[in-house]
Amino acid sequence: MKIKPSSLPSPSLSIKTGSSKQQAVNSRKPVMLHIKAIPDNHQISVDNYDHALGGFNYSYNGNLHLLENERMDEYEHQTMILGGSRPKRIDTPGVDFAFNFICDPDISRKSLEYAIQFVDENSIPTLNHPAKVLRLTRDGLFRHFSDINGLKIPKTLSISPHSLKEVQNLVESGEIALPLIIRPAGKHGGQGMYLLESLDDIRELERFAFDGRNYYLIEFHDYRSADGFYRKYRILWIDGKIYPRHLIIDKEWNLHAANKNNFMRDTETFIQEETDFLVNCEEVLGNDGMRNIQTLFSGTGLDYCGMDFSLMPDNRVFVFEANAAMNTTYNRAHAASSHLDSYLIMHEQAKIKMLSQFANTAVAETDKRSH
């Protein structure tokens, strides 16, 4: 069910300052601001009605889900939701720090721009600063990081075509080479992707609505390993450290979680290969690979993000995407269900530590200013 909210809050550019008396209490809980957004199209999804809450639960596309329990008891929490078709001015109580949950610049660009203005003008220490998220579109990744040695980032163009001819012209003029992937901007999980291998098949692109909406053209590279299987690795970047997340192996090039049910589920060698990656990703990636990946992550300036990639025969890291839109929470309901559990718990612990350290620093600065 889709609804267009008639009146959703958007923040003011002023922030109330907590009283110095309150801030002088060293034992007080840090106040954390959750910054989220309604997509630029002003639409949200209704998940369900919560009778205990007495209201609807909404799913805001384009917002990161960082932890299983995002409202931890260690903090006081304030939430700011940007966007809406008729936003209202609101005042936000004094906060110590913010986490920017807006993670997809393709669908929440306006909200990210507003969030930049808000946190900068109010000097709010912010994890995953919205300005850093804003530049990590798929074409932004190519523009900013394709010159890192040892990494291969496929050429990517952002287009808003009104006809097939516009795509054809880009290929014929040499702006981008075949084969190429076309995908709608803001879609994830492989939704709507098509691999165009020849201009003879250009009519296949009539499946897309070329009405000025945004698409990506991405040069395709066959990244199959010597055994004929495709491999997609995922790693996380949490507070300056690299954590392996998973490995997917299959015969298909468009790999996602469901592909694990094809070959990996019953192939011990593939399960062991993923385990080896989790146990010692440094050995799998090599010193050069780790260093080059760290260079990219450091260059993003983000506190939390992820990367999907494969390894090419010449040992270069072939990067599919690197951004903040990696929902990697640990679901306790699935505990002890797979060989991944201990690593998922490790990721949660690293995220909690990141928040704690950032909060402690922010509180110290807030209290220092209040005296």
Cis check for the bond before 179: say yes or no (omega within 30 of 0). yes
Mean pLDDT to the nearest integer, 340-351: 90
Quote the pLDDT of residue 21.
41
- Per-residue pLDDT at 365: 85
Cβ-Cβ contacts under 8 Å for 351 (sequence gap 6 or more): 66, 67, 238, 304
- Furthest CA-CA distance within the chain: 72
Q: What is the DSSP letter of 162?
A: S
Lowest mean pLDDT among 111-115, 203-207, 264-268, 339-343: 339-343
DSSP line for 278-305: HH-HHHHHHHHHHHHHHHHHHHHT-SEE
Q: State the DSSP code for 338.
A: S
Which residue, chain included where needed, has tokens 């000025």? Answer: 212
Q: What's the confidence (pLDDT) of residue 195?
A: 97
Q: Is 334 exposed, middle or buried (0-12, 13-18, 19+ CB in 10 A)?
A: exposed
Strand partners, 33: 78, 98
Give yes or no for residue 26 having a pLDDT over 60: no
Of 368 and 356, more confident: 356
pLDDT digits (tens, 9 = 90+) for 56-101: 877 778 999 999 889 999 999 999 999 877 766 667 668 999 999 9
- State the Cα torsion 339-343-345-346 to the nearest 10°: 160
Alpha helices (runs of H) in the chain, residue ranges in sequence order? 20-23, 109-121, 130-134, 138-145, 164-172, 268-279, 281-300, 341-370
CA distance 184 to 60: 19
| Structure confidence by residue, pLDDT tens digits, 214-234 | 999 999 999 999 999 999 999
Q: What is the average per-residue pLDDT within 331-354?
A: 80
Q: What percent of the chain has pLDDT over 90?
A: 71
The 10s digit of each residue's pLDDT in 48-64 is 887 877 778 777 789 99
Q: Which of 27-36, 156-165, 320-329 holds the top average pLDDT? A: 156-165
pLDDT at residue 3 tops 80: no
* Residue 28: per-residue pLDDT: 82
**Predicted local distance difference test score (pLDDT) of residue 83:** 85
Is 352 in contact with 66 (CB distance < 8 Å)?
no
The first and second tokens of residue 284, run together, are 């799998």
- The pTM of the full predicted model, rounded to 2 decimals, is 0.88
pLDDT at position 327, please? 81
| Contact (CB, 8 A) for 259 and 248 | yes
Parallel/antiparallel/unpaired status of strands 304-311 and 126-127: unpaired
116 has pLDDT over 70:
yes
Average pLDDT of the chain? 88
- 183: phi then psi, degrees, rounded to nearest 5: -145, 145
CA neighbor of 100 nearest in space, from 343, 281, 325: 325
Q: For residues 326 and 99, which has the higher predicted lDDT (pLDDT)?
A: 99
| Predicted confidence (pLDDT) at residue 297 exceeds the cutoff of 70 | yes
CA-based end-to-end distance of the chain? 51
12 three-state secondary structure? strand
Digit-coded pLDDT (tens) for 358-368: 999 999 887 77
Which pLDDT does position 371 carry in this prediction?
A: 61
How does residue 163 score in pLDDT terms, banded at 50, 70 and 90?
very high
Q: Are 293 and 106 spatial neighbours (Cβ–Cβ below 8 Å)? A: no
Whether the per-residue pLDDT at 347 is higher than 70: the answer is yes
| Structure confidence at residue 308 as a pLDDT band (50, 70, 90) | very high
Give the span between the Cα atoms of 200 and 289, in whole angstroms.
38
Among 48-52, 72-76, 121-125, 282-286, the least confident range: 48-52
Residue with tokens 């958007």: 10
Q: Is the pLDDT of residue 20 over 60?
A: no
The pLDDT of residue 286 is: 95
